[in-house]
Amino acid sequence: MVADLAASFPARSSPAKLSSADIFTARSAYDPGTIETHLCSRRDEGKKSLCCYLMGGMSRDWLDILQAISHGGANIIEVGIPFSDPMIDGPVIQAASRMALDAGATPATVLDEISHVEAGVPLVAMTYYNLLLKGGLSRMAKHMSRARISGSIIPDLPPEESGPWIREADGSGIENVMLVAPTTPVDRARRICESTRGFVYCVGTMGVTGERDSLARTAREVVAKVMSVTDKPALVGIGVSTPAQAAGACSVADGVIVGSAIVRRVMEGSGASGVEKFVRSLRDAIDS
Amino acid sequence: MVMGDPGPGGKYGEYGGRFVPEPLMAACMELEESFRSAWADETFRVQLNAILSDYAGRPTPLTECRRLSQRVGVRILLKREDLAHTGSHKINNVIGQALLADRMGKKRLVAETGAGQHGVATATAAALFGMECVVYMGELDTVRQELNVFRMELLGAEVRPVKSGSRTLKDAVNEALRDWVSTCETTHYCLGSVMGPHPYPWMVREFQSIVGEESREQCRQLLHGLDPDWVVACVGGGSNAAGTFAGFISTTANLVGVEAAGGAAISNGAPGVLHGMMSNLLQDDTGQVLEARSISAGLDYPGIGPEHAYLASLGRARYETAGDGEVLEAFKLLAQMEGIIPALESAHAIAWVSREAGKTIPFGSTVMVTLSGRGDKDVAQVKDLLRGG
């Protein structure tokens, strides 16, 4: 069974097949892209990284907020492309998806709008696979590339099914980021870490996106698991919502991903300045 | 082999697969492994069959519809899943999954439900096995099927109305999956149809194949060793149809699935990914999933099980539609000609047969229809519709 699954993982170009023994040489087997280079150089300087999420098209001023997130000190911005059925998202991002769709957002409008702004940091698109399939994998990868998107996170596209998208993403210079969860067995985590590009998305807690009262114990465990099998950057997301939680996660991880806490502030009308202030508080916490 | 084991990838041609976030992968793999081992274990089969006969009332009869046959000009045989415990075929799958969950040491069941039949069946199985049970149901459906909500509560389940999206079955599936992401170590997701990530489409079809196996043998007894010319079942996600077709896939019978006209994933959908599977989906030009709309909550699903999409692509089964008006007529027709009040879902199959008798179905043909459930749950809604509210 394990062998079957390994065979169905996407084969990578040069070298075509990596055995698990090759894992620690895997990074030299391809040219790291913008995101991975960026995150690795920050790590080499002893700095932690902050990735912030914003739902594309969720408000009229979303591009202003995007820039405010950058000014607040984010190192990467994850831009959500709204989908009708966001399976891994909790109530806040579900509501933001609905708002964006009701306002007429489509993959094309989000990508077109974003291509008009200078974010100042690398961008990652987060969306669900059906939108890529319907838009055409090749066309969507090229559209992302034109919009100066550097990476993709497609949570409902596990490694076994990701071959077709990765071929297109690789061809367009899009780094496809994969997830490792608390329940992922270590052998599987190793193969995921071989396949991921940009960084490893460490799912901090078993659950949907959303704010939690405290950082789950599983967050540290999943980071430890990931770091035992790869030297690619490990960022913790899902359930990281306060400066204290971000700092806690960064005591083990290379960085954090904060989503719902930002999106909620946008929905509550914090505006660009309020969001910038919050992002700065996250920045300060992980830098201190 | 068509309708066989889809293998570790769970593929039916290009359809199926396992499109779930990484946190659910381990749970899906554990479930697949447990199902494979249970299904190959004689003890599990014996236990399951004992519950199905002593508790769920199997085998269900095959009923010859003498008056209706005379009226429409084709010989109609009904596989009476309406007579199974809880009033529909849903119990077959649920008993199987609850027994499996018990074997896996899971103490809690979550389920989605549309019309409420699967929710009632799951609540029933949870009571039988002494498990905790939470059922997600679209808010709109909790209104349409108020009695089933009460029934589930009476059985000790908690019904959580789902207020997101279209507030119907599709959104109930999303919420059940979200619950499962956080609880999969202690909870089994008792999915109600031949849909979702691998192994569900295969496992649910296997648990429902008893409908097809029984009815094939019952037909052969009645028809002196012959198989019916046509085998017809309604399709939402498609579990009663999959179970039925599995029994007739190796015969020469024409297989027909009848979708609601407002939720016709085969006729009006396109390939896509939703709820962990690649299948046909109602969607807009950009890939947003559309809402299905029909008179029956159980068929209000914008997708269809991946194996049905595959059978359609092979041409081995055909998928037709029935509209709300003719479904209501069929509902009355079966009640008045045979003394059987069908579920609105099942009435879609009857509607198609009575419309197509003498057209698509030549006069004199023998047609086996799976009557997936009984209509008690729909009586209040139909009363409002017929009497104008």
Sequential DSSP letters for A66-85: HHHHHHHT-SEEEEE---S-
In a domain, A14, yes or no: no
Which token pair is B167? 């507030």
Of B8, B170, B185, the CB nearest to A85: B170
Q: Are residues B178 and B320 in the same domain?
A: no
Q: Of B146, B157, B182, which is closest to residue B297 (Cα–Cα)?
A: B146
Sign, CA torsion B282/B285/B287/B289: negative
Q: How far is CA B16 from the centre of its chain?
A: 17
Q: Is residue B258 classed as helix, strand or coil in its secondary structure?
A: strand
Give the percent of chain B with pLDDT over 70: 100
**In the structure encoding, which two tokens stand for residue A278, read together?**
């919050």
Question: Mean pLDDT across the stretch A25-47?
Answer: 83
- B184: nearest CA partner in chain A: A206
The verdict on a CB contact (< 8 Å) between A85 and B272 is no
Q: What is the pLDDT of residue B387?
A: 87
Mean pLDDT of A86-103: 96
User: Could you tell me the CATH number of the domain that includes residue B155?
Assistant: 3.40.50.1100
Asked if residue A114 belongs to a domain, the reply is: yes
Cα–Cα distance, B245 to B235 (Å, whole number): 12
pLDDT at residue B145, as a whole number: 87
Number of folded domains in chain B?
A: 2
Concatenating the DSSP letter of every residue in B69-129 gives HHHHTSEEEEEEGGGSGGGBTHHHHHHHHHHHHHHTT--EEEEEESSSHHHHHHHHHHHHH
Same domain assignment for residues B97 and B246? no
> Does residue B3 form part of some domain?
no
Q: Is residue A137 part of a domain?
A: yes
User: Which residues of chain B are within 8 Å of residue A128 when distances are taken between CB atoms?
Assistant: 273
Answer yes or no: do B129 and B80 share one domain.
Answer: no
pLDDT digits (tens, 9 = 90+) for B169-223: 999 999 999 999 999 999 999 999 999 999 999 999 999 999 999 999 999 999 9
- Whether A13 shows a pLDDT value over 90: the answer reads no
Judge: B285–A8 Cβ closer than 8 Å, yes or no. Answer: no
Each residue of B7-18: pLDDT tens digit?
999 999 999 999
Smallest CA-to-CA distance from B306 within B234, B209, B233, B205 is with B205
Q: Do B296 and B277 belong to one domain?
A: yes
On whether both B139 and B223 belong to a single domain, the answer is no
Mark yes or no for CB contact B18/A1 under 8 Å: no
> Does residue B103 sit in the same domain as residue B130?
yes
The region of weakest confidence among A8-17, A68-77, A179-188, B246-255 is A8-17
* CATH code of residue A119: 3.20.20.70
| CB contacts < 8 A (A, B) | 126
Residue of B nearest to A4 (CA): B8
**What are the pLDDT digits (tens) for B101-124?**
999 999 999 999 988 999 999 999
| One domain, residues B121 and B261 | no
Does A9 reside within a domain? no
**Cα–Cα distance between B150 and B116 in angstroms, integer?**
10
Question: Distance between the two ends of chain B, CA-based, in angstroms?
Answer: 50
Residue A218 φ then ψ, to 5°: -60, -25
* CA–CA separation, A147 and A170 (whole Å): 16
**What tens digit of pLDDT does each residue of A141-178 get?**
999 999 999 999 999 999 999 999 999 999 999 999 99
- Which of the residue ranges A183-187, B242-246, B328-332, B384-388 would you say has the lowest mean pLDDT? B384-388
Tell whether A18 is covered by a domain.
Answer: no
pLDDT digits (tens, 9 = 90+) for B37-49: 999 999 999 999 9
**Cα–Cα distance, A196 to A153 (Å, whole number):** 10
> Which pLDDT belongs to residue B193?
97
| Minimum Cα–Cα distance from A178: chain B residue | B22
| pLDDT band, residue A26 (cuts 50/70/90) | very low
* Bridge partner list, A131: none
- pLDDT over 90 percentage in chain A: 89
* Residues whose CB falls within 8 Å of the CB of residue B310, separated by 6 or more in sequence, listed in order: B12, B13, B14, B15, B16
Residue B6 belongs to a domain? no
Q: pTM of the entire structure?
A: 0.95
- B193 shares its domain with B244: no
* Residue numbers in B near A190 (CB within 8 A): none
Question: Is A187 considered catalytic here?
Answer: no
Please give the residue range of the domain that contains residue A262.
49-176+242-287
For residue A38, is it within any domain? no
pLDDT, residue A210, reads 94
pLDDT tens profile B340-360: 999 999 999 999 999 999 999
Assigned domain for B293 exists? yes
Residue with tokens 């052998």: A187
> What is the band of A10 on the pLDDT scale with cuts at 50, 70, 90?
low
* Domain count along chain A: 1
Residues B217 and B261 in one domain: yes
Q: Say if residues B218 and B286 touch (Cβ distance below 8 Å).
A: no
- Which of B112, B167, B178 best probes binding to A when mutated, by most A CB atoms within 10 angstroms? B178
Element (H, E) at B136: strand B132-138
pLDDT digits (tens, 9 = 90+) for B309-318: 999 999 999 9
User: pLDDT tens digits for B54-106?
Assistant: 999 999 999 999 999 999 999 999 999 999 999 999 999 999 999 999 999 99
User: A23 lies in a domain?
Assistant: no
Residue B65 known to be catalytic: yes
The whole-number pLDDT of residue A22 equals: 40
In sequence order, what are the residues at sequence separation of 6 or more whose Cβ sits closer than 8 angstroms to the Cβ of residue A101? Answer: A82, A84, B288
Asked whether residue B1 is assigned to any structural domain, the reply reads: no
Looking at the structure, do residues B248 and B350 belong to the same domain, yes or no?
yes
**How far apart, in whole angstroms, are the C-alpha atoms of residue B212 and residue B71?**
26
Chain A residues touching B182 at Cβ < 8 A: 205-208
pLDDT band at A11 (very low <50, low <70, confident <90, very high): low
Domain housing B334? 58-88+209-386
Do B267 and B361 have their domain in common?
Answer: yes
Question: Which residues of chain A neighbour B285 with C-beta distances below 8 Å?
Answer: 134
Please state, in angstroms and as integers, the Cα–Cα distance from residue B312 to each residue in A6, A73, A269, B147, following that order: 31, 53, 49, 35
The whole-number pLDDT of residue A9 equals: 64
Instruction: Please indicate, yes or no, whether residues B64 and B16 belong to a single structural domain of this protein.
Output: no
Write out the residues of chain B at the interface with chain A, using a CB-CB cutoff of 8 A: 8-9, 17-23, 25-27, 33, 164-165, 170-171, 174, 177-178, 181-185, 270-276, 281, 283, 285-289
What is the rounded distance in angstroms from the CA atom of residue A165 to the CA atom of residue B52?
Answer: 44
Looking at the domain assignment, is residue A275 inside a domain?
yes
Residue owning tokens 């046959």: B69
